[in-house]
A and B are shown apart, each in its own frame.
Chain A
Amino acid sequence: MPDAALAPAPAQTPLPFVRIQGVTKNFGTFKAVDDVSFDIQKGEIFSLLGGSGCGKTTLLRMLAGFEEPTAGTVWIDGQDMTSVPAYDRPVHMMFQSYALFPHMTVEKNIGYGLKHEPMTKAQRADRVREMLDLVQLTPFAARKPHQISGGQRQRVALARALARAPKLLLLDEPLAALDKKLREHTQFELMNIQDRTGITFVVVTHDQEEAMTLSSRLAVMDKGRIMQIGTSTEIYEYPKKKFVASFIGSINSFDGTVSQITGPEALIDIPDLGSPMRATAIAGLAPGQPVTLAVRPEKLSIGRDRPEGANVIRGQVEGVAYFGKDSLYRVRLPGGRVLSVSAVNARRAGEHDRVADWDDEVWLAFAPSSAILLTE
């Protein structure tokens, strides 16, 4: 499959920092990871995103060395690490539960991995101090994990994983156990620490917002396979598969057939919408081919007057959810389909003079370039 995002990224370094090639992991008859290949560049924050049971955690555990692949190879920094046990890998992990040693102080927890480094006692103490400083926990050095808060525990786990200066840091749902306010703060702190240390991060998460803001690139996984790899923008604006389009954000999608291709645009017949819709064509499209047209809620415009141009849809407002800065409208089409439309409340308006209200007849429209065409 000649997919630009799945192919090794342009050679900035002679070898990609992490290369996963044809990796499969079976648990009995269950294929947790199914023939996965991709590369991660040095200094990236790379996220594995997917629902539970999609294989992201198994993939992470194979990078850590807790699971051995049934087939395939894992290279880290030019070395074949496929069967190297966890304790011999230059890879450290921040566990979802943090897995702090309850019988050791914060200081001892952070210094634990340093026992295996050829360092003097003083050097070790210095390194622990440096780490405590990095995560701003110096006053809590002598406490036990149960005597500090959840956010502090998360920082101890991070410092412990960073203390031996790993080549690769694995983070398993790093923000899942934190409350919303702390998450945002910690997210920026993680990015800041990544920036300062230059360590490559691989993050496993089920939270798309977390993945999109945190990562330089992300891989969307489903049923043990990689669905798409790309930057947040690529994944959100240019999904290549129906699964990716519907998994990330919300989307309105219609099944149709290609009726005509004129230059850069394709004309799509959609039974649900009545009139044919225009959309920017994708490679390999032929007239008569079944295709799915998808439009994100915020790409649809909504108004009481019929707009000029193509891709105009008529409907009736069935519900309005007001969020302050924007509103979500549920619009029922004559055929019965209900679309989601999101509009920024750019103009101050009361309940009765806003863009559209309950039961109003409205017109929706979208630009051909905003429409996503999906064939798989």
Chain B
Amino acid sequence: MTARLSDWFNKRGWAALIIWLPYIWLVVFFLIPFVIVLGMSFATRTSTAPPFGFGGEDPILNLESYQRLFSDTLYIRAYLTSVGNAVVATVFCLLIGYPMALGLTRVSSTWRTILLMLVILPFWTSFLLRVYAWMGLMGTNSWFNRLLTDIWNALTPEAWEIAHVTMMNTNFAVVLVMVYSYLPFMILPLYANLERLDPALDEAAMDLGSRPLRVFWDVTLPQSIPGIIAGGMLVFIPACGELIIPSLVGDASSPMIGRVISDEFTSSRDWPMASAVAVALLVLLVVPLMVYSYFESRANAVKATKGAP
């Protein structure tokens, strides 16, 4: 028996194991937890421990949580705030990160190493610490806030004078800290993409009569779309579900979805509701991705057949 088993492993078992390992990983750490959460979202809230159960009027499919999801404006507003903040943060990350990534490809290799290290350097400090640092900066009594206040007061008429700039506990603060925290996730994939582009292509476009801005538009930008999408996903998806940043610097009256999930699990002890919110967030994030990749692969297939003889 053992001989036959080792025989099977030697023939095809190892290859199968390597191929299936990522799938096993996904099943154990994504699919099974997801099924548990999905199941929980259809359960009924109880006062037992754990605080949910199946039974009562709708023993298996209790849709109450989902009904509340659509009827209570708290959730809809939380989704909109999340997506809105995430979109704005992603756009700013792109606007700031693209020139930085492009710059990285154009400097000497010595500078490139130094600058790349500076991009990664913030990761060496605790994420939480960096958010606290921003809280200090944005607070009403910080030198930073006083500086901004002084600049504002110096530049505007006296009637508009302010005592301090309100930054803490606003969506502005959430977006600002998210842009700061996620910028490396935009820069690195973009840099990896732009770095692979052949500089001779830029020269060819210039040689054929295009000025630098036109070269960027015609040659660099179209070729960097995969990098933009990769960077955008890496920023947008975690930004949507962000919990810590809005909890620490955000506006408590318009929470983001991560905060809502956390609150439902902890303070209100409504696990089915929390699960339903989480499932809805997943659908919200995954469905556009799947639609996008479906059209992308179809467009590629069409291009391939068109190009063939």
A contacts, CB < 8 Å to B? 64-66, 85-88, 91-93, 95, 97, 99-103, 105, 112-113, 115-116, 139, 142-144, 147, 160-161, 164
Contacts and interface: CB of A to CB of B under 8 A. Distances in A.
B307 A92 contact: no
Contact of A99 (B201, B210, B211): B201
Interface string B170-211: 000000000000000000000000000010110111111111
A112 B203 contact: no
A87 B206 contact: yes
Contacts of A99: 198, 200-201, 203-204
B219 interface: yes
B194 to A, nearest CB: 14
A116 B251 CA distance: 52
A175 B218 CA distance: 28
B205 A101 contact: yes
Interface of B: 198, 200-201, 203-211, 218-219, 222-223, 303, 306-309
A164 B204 CA distance: 13
Contacts of A86: 203, 206-207
Nearest to B203: A66
Given A101-B219, A144-B307, A95 B208 contact: no
B114 to A, nearest CB: 20
A139 B309 CA distance: 8
A87 B209 contact: yes
Contact of B200 (A95, A143, A147, A160): A95
Given A102-B201, A160-B208, 17 more contacts: A64-B203, A65-B207, A86-B206, A87-B207, A91-B207, A93-B204, A95-B200, A99-B204, A101-B218, A103-B223, A105-B307, A112-B205, A112-B218, A116-B209, A142-B307, A147-B308, A161-B207
B262 to A, nearest CB: 44
Nearest to B215: A87
A164 B209 contact: yes
A144 to B, nearest CB: 6
Contacts of B208: 87, 92, 112-113, 116, 160-161, 164
Contacts of B309: 139
A64 B206 CA distance: 10
9 contacts: A65-B207, A86-B207, A92-B207, A93-B207, A95-B200, A97-B198, A101-B204, A101-B218, A144-B303
Given A97-B200, A139-B309, A147-B307, A102 B223 contact: yes
B39 to A, nearest CB: 46
A128 to B, nearest CB: 13
Contacts, number: 68
Contacts of B209: 87-88, 113, 115-116, 164
Nearest to A157: B204
Contacts of A100: 204
Contacts of A95: 200, 203-204
Contacts of A88: 209
Contacts of A105: 307
Per CB-CB distance, the 4 closest pairs between chain A and chain B, nearest first, are A113-B208, A116-B209, A99-B204, A99-B200
Contacts of B210: 87, 115-116
B109 to A, nearest CB: 15
B299 to A, nearest CB: 13
Nearest to A92: B207
Contacts of A85: 206
B268 to A, nearest CB: 52
Contacts of B207: 64-66, 86-87, 91-93, 161
A147 B304 CA distance: 9
Contacts of A64: 203, 207
A113 B206 CA distance: 9
Given A116-B210, A164-B208, A101 B306 contact: no
Nearest to A112: B208
Contact of A101 (B201, B206, B307): B201
A202 B64 CA distance: 78
Contacts of A93: 203-204, 207
B201 to A, nearest CB: 5
Contacts of A112: 205, 208, 218
Contacts of A116: 208-210
A76 to B, nearest CB: 14
A358 B232 CA distance: 74
B232 to A, nearest CB: 19
A91 B209 CA distance: 10
Contacts of A92: 207-208
Nearest to A144: B307
Contacts of A87: 206-211
Contacts of B308: 147
A143 B222 CA distance: 17
A103 B222 contact: yes
A13 B178 CA distance: 68
A57 to B, nearest CB: 12
A133 B50 CA distance: 76
Contacts of A66: 203, 206-207
A121 B204 CA distance: 22
Contacts of B206: 66, 85-87
B197 to A, nearest CB: 9
B297 to A, nearest CB: 17
Contacts of A164: 208-209
